[in-house]
Structure 1
Amino acid sequence: MRALERLFIFAIVSIASLLVFKLHEKHAELHKRDGEWSVRKDLQVVEKEKINVFDTNAPRELRKALSEEKLNNYGARVRSGIEEPNERVIDSLRNRIESETGEKKSTVPTSKIDYAFSSSSPFLLQYWASNITKDAQKQDEIREAMRASYGAYEKYAFGFDEVQPKSLRGSNNQGGVSASVIDAIDTLKIMKLEEEYERARAHLLNDKTSGLENLASSRLNQGISVFETNIRVLGGLLSIYDLTSDENFLQRAVQVANAIAPAFETKSGIPYTMINPFTKKGECFSFYQNSAVLADAGTLQLEFFTLADRTKDRKWYEYAKKTMDVILSYKPISPNSIMTPLGLYPLFIHPSTGKFTLERSYAVGALGDSFYEYLIKAWRAFPNAQGRSKYRVEFDNSMDSVLKFMVSKFPKLKWQGTSKELHDAWFLNDLKNGRQVLNMDHLACFISGALVLGAEHASPNDIVKGYLALAEHMTTLCRNFYHAQASGLSPDVVVAASASGSMYGTHNQNIQRPETVEAIFYMYRKTGDEKYRKWAWEIFQSMKEMYATDTGWTGIRDVRKKEAALPQNRDDITQTFFFAETLKYLYLTFGSGDEIDLNEWVFNTEAHPVKVSREFTFPF
């Protein structure tokens, strides 16, 4: 009840000016559609005009709108596990069901009440924008980019991990497991490139000489990254299984999981960074203090929980559950300080002890990013899991500390050596031993999407506003990283100087990363604001101009040069995530809202979508 009272007080403060206005002057501004009042539009008018909705002379429909928003906000908190439904709210919901369906409230079954609090209920306000329609022409152009770039891979490097468009050959930076095929196959399916999809399927399932076959049969005798294999290979196979219901892909996923499972055989349950599937020996890198990386160890639960759900084999759940239990057992010494902020985790953890190293470095970019991403995504993917609220709480704690300690706000940031500048810039910095380091890598741009996902069921409303404000500013900044360069492409790392109010790239290569177009995708799905499609299209056109050659799409060595497309300024690789993420997010940005409905699907950190499971009930 206290939460409901806080919401009621907040509503009074934020939308009521306590000034009586003339009813006939404002009544015309209330939007009506098919005889029903649009609650969202009415509330926008309330906010804008400071209407006193508590005045008994105010329109009945407007007062009803406020009541419905309160009910919907309450429903969001019930769905998130923050509150249990009380009898008064349930009675209000019964009244609403009766008015909208004609069913007598005394006969409304409990199952319908439960459904009304579910994410798919029609009785709850829609979170995602409803004005999103397909732009077929732009989707066709992006599809052709996929056909051309993946076609070059098929021609020059099929079966290798990547294609080298300048050398006209393949490379194996992921262990030689046909990584491009796996990363591309769900994108091929989503884009309806059926011929390419069928060739990819045949290779992954039937080719006994393929790299994936070596991995699946544990004949691969070299170290491979557990993290990369999980997000790319296991995630890719689970995704294409969910998209097609082809059991052969699920069988392959089980084989891959078995191949990397020995990495979890440590004293603490924190997996090794690398595993040799043949010898079953694991290791961590010496340059990471022989420790596991937070983002590696903490980015497993979405895939392993999904595998446990699809196979009904609890052991996959146990692997990831034990790892997360160890990580989440960490307690900061001074949770309200910048030295050890609540919700932020050090970057390195020992597999032998399960303890974090003493170095107090925190980042939501490289080395930390997907750990925070999976807190909210795993929470969303399994809405009926027992105890899932602890992931929600940890995500909210982490984002609270991000907002307190890791966001530097500038009235203006100017690109060094140019006249280009960005006003009201929010810069995302790292923390090292209690001080802010104004260093932002492109990977950190993912955070906008996580914040948009987290805002849906957040409470109270000031948290929602904080998340969406940061998401909007981060997306604007990350787009500016592209827009300010002569090539139209972003540097990989940007540094800000607080004294001069300037920023500049320190790593000026562009390797086809997806995080900015990912942020734009989520912001567009949330708001429906066409500026995000405009930004996505600008970035795609720059990619097309700078990446594309007759023999494949390459990255760029220096984005500051307009002549970046010259051969000497190209690298020699098409990244597998260009197929999995970059082109997929661009394509879906121009699709309709029900193309990979975000109420029913969750993207893993490699942009492989898996279905939300309401059958998964294992405890978090």
Structure 2
Amino acid sequence: MRTVLRLVLVAVAFTGTMVLLVRMSDDLEYGDSARSPRISRVYRHVANDIERQLENAGGIEGTNSTNLKLQYVKQMMMHAWNNYKLYAWGKNELKPISKRAHLSSVFGAGELGATIVDGLDTLYLMGLNDEFREGRDWVAQHLHINEIDSDLSVFETTIRFVGGLLSCFALTGDTMFRDKAVEVADALLPAFDTPTGLPYALINPSTKASRQYHWAGPNSILSELGTLHLEFTYLSDVTGRDIYRQKVSRIREVLNNIEKPGDLYPNFINPRTGQWGQRHMSLGALGDSFYEYLLKAWLMSGGGDEQARVMFDTAMQAALDKMLRVSPSGLAYLAELKYGRIIEEKMDHLSCFAGGMFALASTTLDNTLSERYMDVAHKLTNTCHESYARSDTRLGPEAFRFSGAVEARAQKSNEKVYLLRPETFESYFIMWRLTKQQRYRDWAWEAVEALEKHCRVEGGYTGLVNVYHQVPQGDDVQQSFFLAETLKYLYLIFADDSFLPLDEWVFNTEAHPLPIKGKNPLYREAQKPIAVAGAEDNRL
């Protein structure tokens, strides 16, 4: 299903202050370098056309058009992508202030093109076809994960690379993407060679050696080993190679059978013994996406994976009973537990996906929890918006606390950063689609304004060191998930409901859309096992 969007050339004014698109000056011709492809002629045309409009019309005073907002977010994607091409092509991420590659990202200095793979489906969905083809060709010619001689996160590589490649395969039918997903997934398989089948956190694709994070001791992380199910199950379905499903089914079996304190899952588990580590439990960092994937595994299976839904509802009932708190002013939030007791009255930005998760749970199965799920969805999403509204930049901190007179504000310096994260916008998107309450679109546009005012720089988009400073310092990192998730969700909020309908698509935790089995004709299930060039063993 190819959707080509008509390019609308606009300039947008924010609260009386004109925001201009970056002017592509005549000296920006970078076609002579193989590492820095020529800036898109379409992008140059957009910038020049808007400049002419401003000169001729004396400025465009704001926009109330949903379509213009949609196109503005598309322009943001072009700015992020073209600067990545210009300064960091083939590297993993961009330093937009320094205008060079970011070599200390989660994927290190190896040339895996994380921003390319992560951003490709967003380009495709926005109809940026020249940019998509350019990225597609880089993947085909240069993505060789087995040449990487450094440790990679099994989790991050799965959600960004396997997920991104499979999404592009579903959307386009281009088998190159499926075959590259096989190559990447096969490189991760040695990490699953443990006594329990629970994977280690890190894998060196070249040496095939696996290990844990030093800070986690002997333990694997719940949110990491529990967030592989969508990608590995779908990969088995589109290849006919059952090895991937076997790996994640074993993880599910261990987690389903293990004793669960208070029906919740601690964040640390030892893959050698199958025993819990610290009894710390959270719907934020270290725990979050495990619960998300229980719901989404059930959704993606077309309702066939009943075990996942039962595990989800049981855990969420416990979470709402034990973790859900309400501040003195009435703000709902999800606290963290240890040994069944509240240990911190704080909520991570990562937890802000939960509003959308509870809304999906409410509307996809009518059970005794449905009404409570939707009520909590509205309240949590409102709290996350408050964390944005209470900062000087109107962008949300990495974590926010509820202690004494402080509500929905960060207190520690490392909590005051904004890393271009998408979780709040994910909930805005889902809440808009499912409730049609205008406030969710309004809040999304507030976020676009804030991103343009504080995060946009000449060389791309930067995160912020302190959201409570009126003139914040940038952290000089354009995260790959800014293109994969943040801009995608902001774009989809202003798109029509028929564009990636939620009854046909499930978004993995990196916002890569994957088709729902039995409901989406683009599921592309293999009728027999396929042979893949370069696969470890085509008999699997």
Query: Which category of TM-score, normalised to the shorter sequence, fits these structures?
Result: 0.7 to 0.9
Q: Find out whether 1:613 has 2:514 as its counterpart.
A: no
Secondary structure of the structure 1 residue equivalent to 2:369: helix
1:82 maps to none
Please list, as runs of the form range in 1=range in 2, the aligned pairs for 1:112-511 lying within 5 A after superposition. Answer: 135-172=66-103, 173=105, 174-175=107-108, 176=110, 177-206=112-141, 210=142, 212-213=143-144, 215=145, 218-332=146-260, 340-342=261-263, 344-357=264-277, 359-383=278-302, 385=304, 388-412=305-329, 424-436=330-342, 437-460=344-367, 462-497=368-403, 499-500=404-405, 502-505=407-410, 506=412, 507-511=415-419
C-alpha contact 2:350 2:423 (8 A) present in aligned 1: yes
Distance 1:535 1:503, change over 3 A: closer
User: After the TM superposition, which of the residue ranges 434-443 and 157-166 deviates more from structure 2?
Assistant: 434-443
Indicate the residue corresponding to 1:47 in structure 2: none
Equivalent in the alignment of 1:86: none
Q: How far apart in 2 are the matches of 1:489 and 1:230?
A: 28
CA contact (8 A) 1:376 1:454 kept: yes
> How far did residue 221 of structure 1 move?
1.1
Residue 341 of structure 1 aligns to a residue whose secondary structure is helix
What is the deviation of 1:410? 2.5
Q: Which runs of 4+ in 1 moved over 4 A?
A: none
Deviation at 1:377, TM superposition (A): 0.3
- Distance in 1 of aligned mates of 2:466 and 2:192: 40
The residue that corresponds to 1:335 in the other structure is: none
The residue identity in structure 1 corresponding to 2:117 is I
* DSSP 3-state at the match of 2:350: helix
Aligned residues: 450
Deviations 1:379-415 (A, max 9, x none): 0001264xx2111111111111111011111240xxx
Name the SS of the counterpart of 1:227 in structure 2.
helix
The normalised TM-score by structure 1 is 0.71
- The whole-number CA distance in structure 1 between the counterparts of 2:268 and 2:470 is 39
1:518 equivalent in structure 2: 426
Secondary structure of the residue aligned to 1:583 is helix
* Inter-partner Cα distance in structure 2 for 1:500 and 1:442: 20
Once the 2 structures are TM-superposed, how far is the Cα of residue 330 of structure 1 from its aligned partner? 1.5
Percentage of identical aligned residues = 36
Gaps of 5+ in 1: 1-133, 333-339, 413-423
Matched-pair contact (CA < 8 Å) for 1:269–1:354 = no
Q: Answer whether contact 1:361 1:432 (CA < 8 A) is retained.
A: yes
Q: Secondary structure at 1:511's aligned position in 2? A: coil
8 Å CA contact 1:269, 1:323 repeated in 2: yes
User: Unpaired segments of 5 or more residues in structure 2?
Assistant: 1-64, 527-540
Which amino acid letter does the alignment assign opposite residue 327 of structure 2? F
Which letter maps to 1:390?
Q
Alignment partners' CA distance in 1, 2:138 and 2:214:
36
Whichever residue aligns with residue 189 of structure 1, its letter is Y
Equivalent pair of 2:327/2:407 in contact (CA under 8 Å): no
Q: Does the 8 A contact of 1:260 with 1:277 survive in 2?
A: yes
Distance 2:350 2:189 in 1: 27
Alpha-carbon contact 1:511-1:575 (below 8 Å) kept: yes
The answer to whether structure 1 residue 556 and structure 2 residue 460 are counterparts is: no
The aligned amino acid for 2:398 is: D
Distance 1:477 1:196, change over 3 A: same
Q: Considering only CA atoms, is the larger Rg found in Structure 1 or Structure 2?
A: 1
Distance in structure 1 (CA, Å) of the matches to 2:174 and 2:366: 39
Q: Separation in 1 of the partners of 2:392 and 2:502?
A: 35
